[in-house]
Structure 1
Amino acid sequence: MAARSSFLSVMVMNIKRTLLTTTALLTTTSLGTTAYAENLQHTQQLLSIKQCSQCDLTGAGLVLANLAGADLSGADLSRANLSGANLTGADLSGANLTGASLNGANLTGANLSGANLTSTDLRNALLVNAQLFGVSLSTAYVQGTVGIPQYAGTAEDFYAWGVVEAERGNFAAAIENYNQALIIKPDFAPAYLGRGVAYFRLRDVAKATEDANKAGELFTTQGNTEGYQTSQNVIQAIEVAQNPPKARRGGFSLGGALVSIGSLLFKLISPF
């Protein structure tokens, strides 16, 4: 019993950390306003020959730059602005990307192994086939990021990212994150429930019902009463959607139920 309690405590701490990170950006208008001197010689070298290993590119302005295949291994790109840059196949292994903006950047096939991604803005970036071995995304901003490899996050991380995407109305991305969480942890009941809600919002009633029922079964087995009740609320909401006139006579509010369920997804394993 003590071991299970300890495990749950660690899991809650991980979810808290991830949700605090992913939701913090929603109330932040920028990553920083302090100006830093840019090493123009290194910036020019990078843009001209795309070879800048170990370069000092702190605070460099590289918005929309074409850096496909560039060698930036070990470079200091802290606070650099690489928004929308083409970094396809680039070597960023061991690079310092602390506080850098890669918002909307194309990092397909890039090597980010060993890079420092502390507070890195990866929103809407493409990471398909990118290498992220030995990195931590726990404090990076990944809303809308596509292609995060399974090994780059825990089940709790992917669940938290899924909840945030669902809150943003990006249900397809939420489902992808829930899928990753369930591959890592097949009995992760909250991920089934979250995925069921996302399917429901995409009007896939069959899959929504299947996931809600599966979540209910797992919550029951795991002794999570609140989770089980929430899964039943989802099932009831699905039934109401199938027969709205009857729902009106009973006084059940479909919209209110969805809002309540969405809020509870945050609470299930990360009570603040």
Structure 2
Amino acid sequence: MKLFIAATVLTTINFAHPALSESIAHTRQLLATKQCQSCDLSGAGLVMANLSGANLTGANLSGANLSRANLSGADLTGANLVGASLFGANLTGAKLGGAQIAGADFRDAYLYNVSFGDADVNVAHLQGAIGIPIAAGKAEDFYRWGMLQGQKGDSQGAIDYFNQALTIDPEFALAYMGRGVARYQLLDRKGARDDARVADELFLAQGNVPGTQTAQAFIKELEAPLPSDAKPKSKGNFMNILGLLGSAAVKMFLPF
């Protein structure tokens, strides 16, 4: 009986070993040559790896840790990146057409000139990513990312997202208001007032009464004269500022 159990354990190990060895071999191959098409790299630890220009077409990188890796110019066409961590990775100029990116973590990653092709970005985590291509999302997506970034205290990052939302939809009143709040946080009262006025006009044209009321309340706040000895200052985070304009403003501008 003991011999049977031992034989069973050894057989199990022998069956599992080739797959593990193959994964390790593929990881070594990738790091040595940057050529690993259709490789099995699932769960691989590749933190801060230099993989610039690597050929990873069709590779299985599900669950791999590529945090802060250099993947600039890498070809990840058709790769499996489900659940992979690409936090803070440099993907400038990378190709991701046809890649599976459900649950992939692109937070704080550099995505300048990334080609997502037909990859579905809505199933990945892109909040905080830098340089997200316009084609990678809708105006509402960039607005949502902007609001979330603003709530994190990154006003300039929020403005960048709102700018992209407005590039897609120049009549997106909520994005003008969001950008106005971010500018207010950066002590740019004139820029904030200009955005609030545009938002007011758009809300009025669109028949959005709560939006008009909120924009006008913000304009009133911005046009109130400051005491001669006072220095301009912002008033807290996004939600605090919107709270000054009433509870309707908070509900209206929450990311959707």
Coarse TM-score class (shorter-chain normalised): 0.7 to 0.9
Superposed displacement of residue 169, structure 1? 0.9
Unaligned runs of 5+ in 1: 1-36, 246-253
Partner-residue secondary structure (3-state), 2:164:
helix
Matches within 5 A, 1:133-172: 133-172=117-156
With over 3 angstroms needed to count, the CA separation of the structure-2 counterparts of 1:120 and 1:257, relative to structure 1, is: closer
Provide the rounded CA distance (Å) in 2 between the counterparts of 1:157 and 1:86: 26
Unaligned runs of 5+ in 2: 1-19, 229-234
2:31–2:51: 8 Å Cα contact kept in structure 1?
yes
Provide the rounded CA distance (Å) in 1 between the counterparts of 2:67 and 2:113: 19
Find 2:243's aligned residue among 249, 256, 260: 260
Partner-residue secondary structure (3-state), 1:194:
helix
2:210–2:248: 8 Å Cα contact kept in structure 1?
no
Matches within 5 A, 1:20-31: none
With over 3 angstroms needed to count, the CA separation of the structure-2 counterparts of 1:74 and 1:107, relative to structure 1, is: same
**Pair 1:243-2:193 in alignment:** no
**Pair 1:94-2:78 in alignment:** yes
Provide the rounded CA distance (Å) in 2 between the counterparts of 1:186 and 1:265: 21
Partner-residue secondary structure (3-state), 1:268:
helix
**Pair 1:109-2:93 in alignment:** yes
Superposed displacement of residue 236, structure 1? 2.7
2:175 alignment partner in structure 1: 191
CA displacement, residues 88-119 of structure 1 (integer Å, 9 cap, x when unaligned): 11101111111110001011111112211211
2:146–2:162: 8 Å Cα contact kept in structure 1?
yes
Find 2:201's aligned residue among 207, 213, 217: 217
2:211 alignment partner in structure 1: 227
Question: Which of the pair has more CA radius of gyration?
Answer: 2
Find 2:43's aligned residue among 43, 59, 79: 59
Instruction: Tell me the percent identity.
Output: 52
Provide the rounded CA distance (Å) in 2 between the counterparts of 1:53 and 1:214: 51
Q: TM-score, normalised by structure 1?
A: 0.77
Superposed displacement of residue 139, structure 1? 2.5
2:242–2:249: 8 Å Cα contact kept in structure 1?
no
Amino acid at match of 2:75: D
Provide the rounded CA distance (Å) in 2 between the counterparts of 1:190 and 1:43: 46
Number of residue equivalences = 230
Superposed displacement of residue 138, structure 1? 1.1
Amino acid at match of 1:49: T
Amino acid at match of 2:183: Y
1:122 alignment partner in structure 2: 106
Superposed displacement of residue 230, structure 1? 1.5
CA displacement, residues 183-207 of structure 1 (integer Å, 9 cap, x when unaligned): 1111111011101111111111111
Amino acid at match of 1:128: Y
With over 3 angstroms needed to count, the CA separation of the structure-2 counterparts of 1:144 and 1:271, relative to structure 1, is: closer
Provide the rounded CA distance (Å) in 2 between the counterparts of 1:270 and 1:138: 18
Provide the rounded CA distance (Å) in 1 between the counterparts of 2:142 and 2:206: 20
With over 3 angstroms needed to count, the CA separation of the structure-2 counterparts of 1:163 and 1:78, relative to structure 1, is: same
Partner-residue secondary structure (3-state), 1:97:
coil
Amino acid at match of 1:176: D
1:175 alignment partner in structure 2: 159
2:17 alignment partner in structure 1: none
Aligned alpha-carbon RMSD (Å): 2.6
Q: Which has the higher contact order (CA 8 A, sep 6+)?
A: 1
CA displacement, residues 138-192 of structure 1 (integer Å, 9 cap, x when unaligned): 1322222111110110011011011001111111111111111111111111011
Provide the rounded CA distance (Å) in 2 between the counterparts of 1:226 and 1:153: 27
Amino acid at match of 2:102: T
